Amino acid sequence: MTNILVIGIGGAAGAVSRYAVALWVGGRWGRSFPLGTLAVNVSGCFLIGLLMTLLAEKYMVSPEWRSFLVVGFLGAYTTFSTFEYETGGLIRDGELLWAGLNIIFSVTLGFAALKLGEFLAKAL
């Protein structure tokens, strides 16, 4: 039961953070392209690479902290389901170029951010 509570608290924080980041990015740079979701996905990929490497390989923190940060917070923070939905909406609206760019940028930048996070964690 404790693990469920830890994940739930992390998830609540992650969901609120996702909303805040996406809202801020959309308000700053517009909403014609789902840049807020892209920013969340790329930063989430970076953070999972960084945290999993630090928490599981370097510092060996307790499983509860990993559950809180990775399963809870980052599980609710990253938004690939929203990514898929928004890409489908772009396709439905005939915005094939934007849909393609969203797929390419989300996947390639997310993977690059994951590897950068792992590299930085190992360098610490």
Question: Would you say residue 69 has pLDDT above 80?
Answer: yes
Find how far residue 24's CA is from the centre of its chain. Answer: 15
- pLDDT tens-place string over residues 10-50: 999 999 999 999 999 999 999 899 999 999 999 999 999 99
- Burial state string for 73-92 with b = 16 or more CB within 10 A and e = fewer than 16: bbbbbbbeebbeebbeebee
pTM of the model: 0.81
Q: In whole angstroms, what separates CA 41 from the centre of its chain?
A: 4
Taking only the tens place, the pLDDT of each residue in 70-85 is 899 999 999 888 899 8
